[in-house]
Amino acid sequence: MKKLFSVVLVLMIMLSLAACGKDSKTTGKKDKKITVGVVQTNANESDWRTANTDSLNNAFKEAGFETKMVFGEGDHAKQISQAQQLIQEEVDYLVVLGLQSAGWEDVAKAAKEAGIPFIMADRKLDLSEDLYTAMVCSDFEAEGNKAVEWLEKQALSDVKIVVLGGDTGSSAQLGRSKAIEEGAAKNGWEIVFNQNMKGWDETLAKQAVADLIASGTEFNVVYAENDNMARGACDAMSAAGITYGKNGDVKVIAFDANKWALEKVLAGEFNLDVECNPLHGPRIVKLINQLEAGEKVEKNAYVDEEVFDCDTITREIVDARSY
């Protein structure tokens, strides 16, 4: 009898320990905040980037996630080491916005081996589908093609284009540049200048256009791969007395569609602005919550984007913009 009692007692102790262990593991899971590692490009790269960073931080905070955000500041190698460090720190999710589209395989493999879902945002990276969990990006070539289609409709007799590209090797620059280069070849347009501005820099763009004007280079289209560089180009043209926009000698095409830039479209300073939606935060929160719930997620999600034309934009459209 005594023996039976002691066996039952030992069994009860073992069961309670097991339950405690389970509870502490489950409780641990319940109480543990989801940590999201974010490898961002640059802190002050552009107004688009600021809106993008704010969207990520605000959405993750609202979702109760802990965010570990780091900035590559123009240095691809630094981004790689930052991503590896976040993997070492065992973040629950890794979100990468790459300065460069190439060179991410080792990071993606390390994340996979560590069981950390790899989410690419903003710019698609050169990774096979087995190396990333999901993508929330823009189709930059499609954005560029929208600009090409618009320019075709202008039916200009003699097209001479200044291309102000973004950071060399970023998928945003690669896609938008590919579209205009192929569009020019297809339509017999002349690209009189085609250079990428490091860091999408507005001042560099202004100086490049000022130098072109000083050298007597003729052009009637500016294709600036973001709003800030388009503004720099307009400042250079204004300083030289060159008219541009709706009623000017030079057509101005921009990308991003920041609210301040749409004011310029409404004012007729920019002819066209192609939207590039930076508000990735809520989309990534939805993805993470789906993954936490064990649901299957959409692998490749391109954000919906439109174009804004100075001939059709309205005050209501501009006022309704959230970034």
Phi then psi for residue 301, to 5 deg, are: -110, 120
Told to check if 46 binds ligand GYE by CB under 6 A, we report: yes
The C-alpha angle with vertex 15 and arms to 10 and 16, in degrees rounded to 5, equals 100
For ligand GYE, the closer CB: 256 or 273? 256
For ligand GYE, the closer CB: 83 or 137? 137
Dihedral over alpha carbons 109, 73, 48, 226 (to 10 degrees): -100
Nearest to 302 by CA among 275, 269, 264, 273: 275
Tokens of 265: 């479209």
Judged by CB under 6 A, the stretch of 43-51, 183-191, 213-221, 244-252 that binds ligand GYE is 43-51
For ligand GYE, the closer CB: 172 or 221? 172
Judged by CB under 6 A, the stretch of 46-54, 154-162, 187-195, 291-299 that binds ligand GYE is 46-54
Query: Residue from 71, 93, 189, 255 that binds ligand GYE (CB under 6 A)?
Result: 255
How far is Cα 83 from Cα 94, in angstroms, rounded to an integer? 8
Query: Residue from 34, 38, 49, 221 that binds ligand GYE (CB under 6 A)?
Result: 49
Nearest to 36 by CA among 84, 86, 80, 78: 86
Show the site string, 102-121: x = touches ligand GYE by CB under 6 A, - = not: --------------------
Reported as type and span, the H/E element at residue 212 is helix 202-214
Told to check if 269 binds ligand GYE by CB under 6 A, we report: no
Number of residues that bind ligand GYE (CB under 6 A): 14
For ligand GYE, the closer CB: 220 or 258? 258
Show the site string, 211-250: x = touches ligand GYE by CB under 6 A, - = not: ---------------x------------------------
Told to check if 280 binds ligand GYE by CB under 6 A, we report: no
Query: Residue from 37, 123, 244, 307 that binds ligand GYE (CB under 6 A)?
Result: 123
Considering the complex, what minimum distance in angstroms separates the CB of residue 35 from ligand GYE? 24
Phi then psi for residue 87, to 5 deg, are: -65, -40
Told to check if 99 binds ligand GYE by CB under 6 A, we report: no
In the numeric block, the tokens 């913009």 are attached to: 321
- What amino acid is encoded at 80 in this protein? I
How far is Cα 112 from Cα 27, in angstroms, rounded to an integer? 26
Q: How far is CA 47 from the centre of its chain?
A: 12
For ligand GYE, the closer CB: 133 or 170? 170
Strands of 138-230, DSSP E: 160-165, 190-196, 221-224
Beta pairing, strands 93-96 & 307-309: unpaired
Residues within the interface to ligand GYE (CB under 6 A)? 45-46, 48-49, 122-123, 138, 166, 172, 200, 226, 255-256, 276
